[in-house]
Every structure is written in structure tokens, then in C-alpha cells.
Amino acid sequence: MLKNIIPIVEKVKPSIGLVFAIDPANKVYGKGSGFVIDTGLLVTCNHVVSTPNANILLQFPGSDEKINAKVVIRDEEHDLALLKFTKTDIKALKLCKLEEIKEGMPVIFAGYPLDLLSLTTHQGILSAITQDETGNKVYLIDGTVNSGNSGCPLMNDSGEVIGIVNAKRREQS
């Protein structure tokens, strides 16, 4: 039986942003998801914001306001980017303790898949914990992940972050 996650969605929703990368010709080059990890800091996947000279804009649920952001750290190898923005009233999501992350645990993730501008939430399970070629943990999930979900938080059923969803990255054999 699926757990009622309405209270969790209501709690985490304000902290999950829609990320736009606008190229110099003012066209949307990249679109994805991201989440606040500290005051004025949002994490997403690097491929979402990798356009050279892009203007990065964030939008949070319940607001039409577009917030300027700047990439302050890129990790191309792990496909991560840390963005800084000036709005300081958006709460950070809590992180899960590593020892609590187990195969088979229920997970939820919320982001902006495909061309949607509304936050969508999915439930699934953490089906496997593996390592990539650099030795970092990779969480394989049984759940519907689409383009645009990249950068959204992978959370336990309490809404604590256990990882970052990446709709582009695939295991290499």
C-alpha cells in the first residue's frame, strides 16, 4: 500500500525550484529541477546549466517571480552544479543520515519533468545501491524519471534528501 505523502509534498514543495538556462539569443537552452540546500544555495545537475554564457533563472512553486542565479561551483565529472541566488526566505531541505539509506526503502522525488512548469511528485523504491567508476554511490530507483527531473531531490518518505535525480546519466558497461 502506498503511503499518503500529501504532508511531505506540502512541506518540501516550496524548496524545489524550476531551473532555466537561457542562452545569449534569449532562448531556453536547458530546463530542469533543483532544490535549496542552504540559504541562497540551490543544487542541480550541471547539464541543466551547462550552456556557455547562459543566464540562469529560478522559479519556485506559488510564484511567477523569476530569480537570477549564478553557478558558483561545477562538478562536470559527477554532473552537479551549485547555484547562488539572492532570495533568502526559501527554506533548505533536510538531509537524510547516510546510515538510514537502505535498498528497498520507499523514496519520493519531486521535479519539473518534460515541458511541465508545475511540480510533479513520484513514489518508488530504492532498488539498488551501486558505485560508479569513481567510487561514488549511485542509487537506482524504481520510479518514473523523465527529462526535466534532473536535479530534483531524491527523498526518503519523510522528505529528507538522500540524493539527486539525474535523468541523463546512465551507467556505462
Contact assessment for residue 31 and residue 20, using Cβ atoms and an 8 Å cutoff: yes
- Per the annotation, the verdict on 79 as an active-site residue is yes
Four-point Cα dihedral 9, 115, 171, 140, nearest 10:
20
Q: Cβ(161)–Cβ(43) under 8 Å?
A: no
Among candidate residues 56, 41, 155, the one with its CA nearest the CA of residue 107: 155
Catalytic choice (15, 33, 47, 122): 47
Q: Which among 15, 33, 122, 150 is annotated as catalytic?
A: 150
**150 is an active site residue:** yes
Active site residue 33: no
Catalytic-role residue among 15, 33, 79, 122 = 79
Q: How far is CA 64 from CA 18, 85, 132, 142, 157, in A?
A: 11, 16, 38, 32, 29
Active site residues: 47, 79, 150
